[in-house]
Amino acid sequence: MARVTYVQPDGSEQTFTNYEGLAVMHLAVANLVDGIDALCGGMRQCATCHVYVDPDWAERVGPPGPEEAEMLDALTDAIDVRPTSRLSCQIPIIEDLDGLRVFIPADQPGI
């Protein structure tokens, strides 16, 4: 069991509990979190699941993998990619991430 808090650009927050080992994106989609459209279904092709990991959690979450990093690099002209940017479809919710906070970008593709 692990809880994830999603923070909207206006500062509003929603916290959900994951029981099934899904990704941060899946938990958001299952709970209709605004700003996480996940149009490609988790294939690292759309970036509509882009989040900023809370800096306090960045080390525990870890950096993007090579293909995810490549995707984020390709998007730097289109969206505001920051040091803690991640594609939330690539962050599995493991127990060690209980309490994780992620921020939804204001310029999310699809918003």
The site for ligand FES (CB under 6 A) is made up of 25, 38-40, 42-49, 87, 89
Q: Helical H runs in the chain?
A: 24-30, 55-61, 66-74
Q: How far is the CB of 13 from ligand FES (least distance, A)?
A: 21
Cβ-count burial of 69 within 10 angstroms (0-12 exposed, 13-18 middle, 19+ buried)?
middle
2 or 28: whose CB is closer to ligand FES? 28
Q: How far is the CB of 48 from ligand FES (least distance, A)?
A: 6
Cβ-contact 78, 16 below 8 angstroms:
no
2 or 71: whose CB is closer to ligand FES? 71
Q: Find where tokens 């940017």 sit.
A: 85
Q: How far is the CB of 60 from ligand FES (least distance, A)?
A: 20
